[in-house]
A and B are shown apart, each in its own frame.
Chain A
Amino acid sequence: MATSSSGGDKFTRNLVIAMVALVVVVGAGFSYFGSKGSESAAVPSSVSKADGYGIVFNADVPNVPTIDIYEDFQCPVCARFAGINGATISKAIEEKKAKVVYHMLSFLGTESILAANASACAADEDKFLAFHKAFYANQPAENAGAINATFLKSIGAAVGITSEKFSTCVDNGGYADWVKNVAEAGAKANVNSTPTVFVNGKELDRNTEYFNVEAFAKAITG
C-alpha cells in the first residue's frame, strides 16, 4: 500500500504544498482582517456602540422594552417583514412606546454594504426610517448590480433627502467601516438569520410572531 514520490518530484511536491498552505493562511487572515470592524470607524448620528452599533430610536425613554431588529437590505424576507410590521414599529417609535435599534447587516454581499452605508447617511438627515421603508418598497434583486449610488440617491430623493452632504456620503461610502462594526457585533450576538427580532434580549417566535401584524404588535409592546 505504501507509496512514495520519486526523487526529483519531492521538492516540487513540498513546494506546492507549502504554497497552498500559505495561500490558505494568508487568505483566511485577509478575510478575517477585511471583515473586522474598527474602533475608530466614523459612525452616523444616533448610533450607539453599547447597542451593537445599531441605529437607535428613543434611546432615553425610560421603562420601555428594547427592540433589536437585525436585517439585511438585500434580504427579500426582510422586505416582507418591513412591509407587514413597518407601520407598527414606526408607530411604537413615534409614540415612544419602545426603544428600537436597527442593525443593518451585510452578509449578502457588497450591495448590502452600499445600502447600509446609504441608510446611515440618511440617519444623519433624520430620515433613516423613511429611507428604510422606501428602500424595501423598491428592493431590487439580490447582487444584480442594481443597488448603486444612483439608485440609493434616488431612494433618498424620494423621501426628501436632497442635500449635497447625503450625496457625497453615498458616493464616498464613508460609513463602510461602521457597516463592518455592525456585522461584527451581529456575529457576536449570534444572529444567524434575517430578519431577527429580540424584545428585551429574547428572540420572537419565528413561527408565529414575525409575519402577523397583531401577534407582532402584541410581542413588541408586551
Chain B
Amino acid sequence: MNINEIDKFANSKYGPWFGLLARLILGGVLFAAGWLKIFTPAKSQMAVRAYEVLPNSVANFLGIFLPWFEVGLGVLLVLGIAVRLSAFLGGALMVVFIAAISQAWARGLSIDCGCFGGGGAIDPSETKYLSEILRDIAFALLGFYLFRYPLTRFAVEKLTKTQGDQVNGN
C-alpha cells in the first residue's frame, strides 16, 4: 500500500470512521496503560529502572510522571481534542517504548515491559519482547495516521478543512 492509496482511503468517506477507531484504540490503550500504573508508583518506577538506560533519578521521575502523561493523552484522544498534537505525542511515545524494549532485548536483559503495570526483572523464559514490539508498532502507526489525518468522526473539537485534502467527516 503506497502513500497515495492511504491518502485516497483517508479522504474517502471511510477515512474519518477509521480515524475514530484509531482514536479510540490508541486513546483507550494509553488511558488504560496509565490508569493501571498510577496507583502503584513504586512499581512503575521499578519498571522504568529495569530498562537500565536512564540514570536512577530520571527513571524514578519518569516512573511517576509517565502514567499520568499517558492518561492525559488518552483522555484527549478519546474525546477528540487536540488530536494532531496528542496523536503525535502518543506515536512518539510508542517509538520510545519500541526503542527501550529493543535495547533491553538486544542486551539480553530479562524484563517485563511494564506497559500495563507489572514490570521489572522476570524469568528469561517469560520475556515476550517480539509481541510487545509488534503491538507498539501498531499503536505508533495509528498515532502517525491520526497526526496526518486528524479529521475524525465524533470528535469534540470540530476541525474544519482549510485545504481540503481530507474530506471533512463532520
Contacts and interface: CB of A to CB of B under 8 A. Distances in A.
Given A2-B163, A28-B68, A193 B121 contact: yes
A216 to B, nearest CB: 18
Interface string B105-141: 0000001000000001110000000000000000000
Given A24-B71, A107-B43, A31 B161 contact: no
Interface residues of B, number: 42
B121 to A, nearest CB: 4
B46 A188 contact: no
Contacts of A12: 156-157
B43 A17 contact: no
B157 A107 contact: no
A192 B50 contact: yes
B18 to A, nearest CB: 16
A93 interface: no
Given A24-B71, A192-B49, A5 B38 contact: no
A27 B68 contact: yes
A4 B162 contact: yes
A221 B41 CA distance: 35
Given A24-B68, A35-B41, A206-B121, A191 B46 contact: yes
Interface residues of A, number: 35
B40 A109 contact: yes
A54 B49 CA distance: 21
B38 A13 contact: no
A5 B162 contact: no
Interface of A: 1-6, 9, 12-13, 16-17, 20-21, 23-25, 27-28, 31-32, 34-35, 105-109, 183, 187-188, 190-193, 206
Closest 7 CB pairs of A and B: A193-B121, A107-B42, A107-B43, A24-B72, A192-B50, A3-B159, A27-B68
